[in-house]
Amino acid sequence: PRAGPVESKNEAAMSELVPEPRQKPVVPMKPVGINTSLLGYIGIDTIIEQMRKKTMKTGFDFNIMVVGQSGLGKSTLVNTLFKSQVSRKSSGWNREEKIPKTVEIKAIGHVIEEGGVKMKLTVIDTPGFGDQINNENCWEPIEKYINEQYEKFLKEEVNIARKKRIPDTRVHCCLYFISPTGHSLRPLDLEFMKHLSKVVNIIPVIAKADTMTLEEKTEFKQRVRKELEVNGIEFYPQKEFDEDLEDKTENDKIRQESMPFAVVGSDKEYQVNGKRVLGRKTPWGIIEVENLNHCEFALLRDFVIRTHLQDLKEVTHNIHYETYRAKRLNDNGGLPPMTVETEENHESNL
């Protein structure tokens, strides 16, 4: 007779251990298309205009780095690209200036305004790169500079009282100038791009392309593409970051046909058929910089400014900076890096 209550207790305990059946997660309903003709005009289409106005008030930051040996026309090309005197050499450069013994980093900021849109442009030059007898590890100061800008941004981001708009000094684009030898890429070119393609968007350009015939130029471009592929070097736009089929189709065409852009830069104007054109005067005629039959400068400008400028900034923020940030926090045990303010507070508490 005593067994009854013990059994019932065990049964009660067992029933408590049995998990309750899980509730099925609520599946969100698919958005239903509403026939706006019944409701009349709402005004959703003004969102783009609102965004445009807000962006125009704040303006844009764009930081472009130029890397290559002396004498490849880096300063001239950047001036031609933005149709302004924006390079280091046009900012009081001394012609008697000696070649730096090591790679230096010189950043010059400008504000360019066009059609009410303001852009804070920073041109980062790297005098001394590739100009020494021994160029071993000469990319290290450049890599250090790029990472320092990520660190600066990260420290601003993790501040408790952070700025509403963090100043962006991160390098969005690196134009790498290849010498128009017509042969193979130098080991220096391959080493630089191999190391830096992981931390910045590299756009390879063949400098002073007017020194090659059309056949030589086509052959050299194909050779450069092949060498980059064999060495596993990913230049911008990287295949893995194509967001959709439309992007992939457009970028595949650029990767397979245009890159590396064979360019000629000039900030001098000449009269051709009654029109003022930017060009280079030779004994046999004028090379028009913006004429696609003469060089691919117009393709490069359209690519960097008119079609991919915003994407260059997004890839820098979402891929390169995010990779740096994840590694930095991981190395720091998941904690944000200490800023100057927090270090001072830490010391005062001790």
Give the pLDDT confidence score for residue 28 in this predicted structure. Answer: 65
88 occurs within a structural domain: yes
The set of residues, in sequence order, having a beta carbon less than 8 Å from that of 135 and lying 6+ positions away, is 188
Q: What is the three-state SS of the chain? A: CCHHHHHHHHHHHHHHHCCCCCCCCCCCCCCCCCCHHHHCCCCHHHHHHHHHHHHHHHCEEEEEEEECCCCCCHHHHHHHHHCCCCCCCCCCCCCCCCCCCCCCCEEEEEEEEECCEEEEEEEEECCCCCCCCCCCCCCHHHHHHHHHHHHHHHHHHCCCCCCCCCCCCCCCEEEEEECCCCCCCCHHHHHHHHHHCCCCCEEEEECCHHHCCHHHHHHHHHHHHHHHHHCCCCCCCCHHHCCCHHHHHHHHHHHHHHCCEECCCCCCEEEECCEEEEEEEECCEEEECCCCCCCCHHHHHHHHHHHCHHHHHHHHHHHHHHHHHHHHHHHCCCCCCCCHHHHHHHHHHC
Nearest to 178 by CA among 305, 73, 316: 73
Residue 280, domain member (yes or no): no
What per-residue confidence (pLDDT) applies to 177?
92
The answer to the question of residue 145 being in a domain is yes
Residue 192's domain comprises 57-265+293-331
Residue 49 domain flag: no
Say if 210 falls within a structural domain. Answer: yes
Q: How far is the C-alpha of 271 from the C-alpha of 274, rounded, in Å?
A: 6
Q: What is the pLDDT of residue 113?
A: 84
Please check whether residue 4 lies inside any domain of the structure. Answer: no
349: number of Cβ within 10 Å: 6
Q: How many domains does the chain have?
A: 1
Q: How far apart are CA 329 and CA 116, in angstroms?
A: 40
For residue 309, give both structure tokens: 């400028």
Per-residue pLDDT of the chain (350 residues; tens, 9 = 90+): 555 555 555 555 555 555 556 565 666 666 666 665 666 777 888 898 888 888 877 788 899 999 988 888 888 888 888 877 776 654 444 555 565 666 788 888 888 888 888 888 899 988 878 777 777 888 889 999 999 999 999 999 888 888 888 889 999 999 999 998 878 888 888 999 999 999 999 999 998 888 888 888 889 999 999 999 999 998 998 888 877 888 888 888 888 888 899 988 887 888 888 888 887 888 888 887 877 888 888 899 899 988 899 999 999 999 999 999 999 988 877 677 766 555 555 545 55
pLDDT of residue 313: 93
CATH of the domain at 221: 3.40.50.300
Let me know if residue 175 belongs to a domain: yes
Instruction: Answer yes or no: is 2 within a domain.
Output: no
Contacts of 18 (CB under 8 A, 6+ apart): none
